[in-house]
């Protein structure tokens, strides 16, 4: 259970870092992927990152 807790939290942090990179990529002028694709990546990685981080924290607090 300890491994699952840390894995969920670390996966959430990594996905949030990916979201940050995608935001920087979105703000840079002249990017190769279309802005709609980058927006979708931002929403997907950010949403999943927050969900995984939240689940990891909940498991840490309420898990045995």
Domain residue spans of the chain: 2-62
Six token digits for residue 30: 């002249």
pTM surpassing 0.85? no
Burial class (CB in 10 A: 0-12, 13-18, 19+), 15: buried
**Per-residue confidence (pLDDT) for residue 50, from 0 to 100:** 92
pLDDT in tens, 6-60: 888 898 899 899 888 888 888 888 767 788 888 898 899 998 989 998 988 888 8
- Please give the Cα distance from 51 to 60 (Å, whole number): 14
Six token digits for residue 61: 């607090």
HSE of 32 in the Cβ direction (CA atoms, 13 Å)?
0
**Per-residue confidence (pLDDT) for residue 21, from 0 to 100:** 87
């Amino acid at each position: 259970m300890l491994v699952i807790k840390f894995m969920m939290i670390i996966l959430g942090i990594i996905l949030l870092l990916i979201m940050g990179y995608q935001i920087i990529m979105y703000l840079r002028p002249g990017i190769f992927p279309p802005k709609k694709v980058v927006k979708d990546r931002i929403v997907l990685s950010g949403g999943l990152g927050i969900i995984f981080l939240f689940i990891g924290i909940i498991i840490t607090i309420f898990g045995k």
